[in-house]
Amino acid sequence: MEQLTIKNGLMKFKILIISLTALICFNSQELTAQDDLEKLLNDQAGDETNYVYATFKNSRVLNGQSIETLKSRNFEFRISHRFGEIDQGAYTLWGLDQANIHFSLEYGIFNWINVGIGRGTYEKTYDGFVKFRIIRQSAGARNMPVSLVYLSTIAINSLNEQALNDYFTNRLSYCHQLLIARKYNESISFQLSPTLIHRNFVETAIDINDLYAMGFGGRIKLSKRISFNAEYFHVVKPSSVDYAFYNPLSFGFDIETGGHVFQLHITNSLAMIEKGFIGETTGKWKDKGIHIGFNISRTFAF
């Protein structure tokens, strides 16, 4: 009799264990059913390539262009303004009286090719550019650490001067840049801009027509819509000539509001086209030869 009771007890115990296990198994099956479904869905999805966007808030880092291109059928209208040097004292309201402007209209033919035309006060220059997007930074199925853009600018000096009136080609300058940028994270982006500027006409025989420079630009996002930008171009000083110009250094803030981006900055360059601000900067930071300036851009879509 005792043996039967013990056997019964063991059987009941076994049945209890099995039922509990079954209960747990079925319950957890329901709990994870949706997670399993989701996993199944993800497995089917495969690898995607994520292309980086908004490396900079604008098509300009500060003076120089950034790797951002306009999308197809988008226009951007830009107005840039540089005041006079702030070391001029109160009479000129620290340079606010003097205005140097540049405005341009830029268009995205396709996502990967932009064109633009502009006009600036500096040497009454008309300018135009073509911007090609070569590579986009991406992660995922296709990994690319940087974005690469090629920029080609032409500047036409329209001042009324003897040497320029003699030959039209004397008015022309060209600038070629390869823009290489990387967005490190949501806040920080950095760009290198190796540059070649060719001036058809230079002042003296020992002046050089070709100028090489390397641009360093970057931004730190301070909030969703505000970033701090900095830019420096190191110009390779020609050895033959007593080079009278300085390297451009600029600091500023980008403020984005819907369709506008405002860029407020301080820079030692007066010009707003490459040949001017890279090759012909006369202001010196040490002597407070710096200008307050701003860029405003507005994007339209058609």
| Cα end-to-end span (Å), the chain | 94
Rounded to whole angstroms, how far apart are CA atoms 209 and 214?
17
- Least distance from C-beta 218 to another protein, angstroms? 18
**The two structure tokens encoding residue 61:** 């880092």
Q: Which of these segments, 42-50, 77-85, 149-157, 239-247, binds another protein (CB under 8 A)?
A: 42-50
Residue from 224, 240, 242, 286 in contact with another protein (CB under 8 A):
224
The reply on whether position 74 binds another protein by CB under 8 A is yes
The reply on whether position 14 binds another protein by CB under 8 A is yes
The reply on whether position 166 binds another protein by CB under 8 A is no
Q: Which of these segments, 65-73, 157-165, 172-180, 287-295, binds another protein (CB under 8 A)?
A: 65-73
Residues in the chain: 302
The reply on whether position 37 binds another protein by CB under 8 A is yes
Q: Which long-range contacts (CB under 8 A, 24 or more apart) does 141-144 make?
A: 141/47, 141/48, 141/49, 142/49
The reply on whether position 33 binds another protein by CB under 8 A is yes
Q: Per-residue x/- mask for another protein, residues 186 to 205, rule CB under 8 A? A: x-------------------
Bridge partners, 170 (sequence order): none
Q: Which long-range contacts (CB under 8 A, 24 or more apart) does 136-141 make?
A: 136/51, 136/52, 137/51, 137/52, 137/55, 137/181, 137/182, 137/183, 138/49, 138/50, 138/51, 138/52, 139/49, 139/50, 139/52, 140/47, 140/48, 140/49, 140/50, 141/47, 141/48, 141/49
Count of residues touching another protein (by CB under 8 A): 39
Backbone angles phi, psi at 109, to 5 degrees: -70, -55
Q: Which of these segments, 69-77, 155-163, 194-202, 285-293, binds another protein (CB under 8 A)?
A: 69-77
The reply on whether position 141 binds another protein by CB under 8 A is no
The reply on whether position 29 binds another protein by CB under 8 A is yes
In terms of CB distance, is 26 or 168 closer to another protein?
26
Closest of 247, 179, 257 to residue 218, by C-alpha: 179
- Least distance from C-beta 163 to another protein, angstroms? 44
Binding site for another protein (CB under 8 A): 10, 14, 17-18, 21-22, 25-26, 28-30, 32-38, 40-42, 44-45, 48, 50, 53-54, 70-72, 74, 186, 224-225, 257-259, 299, 301
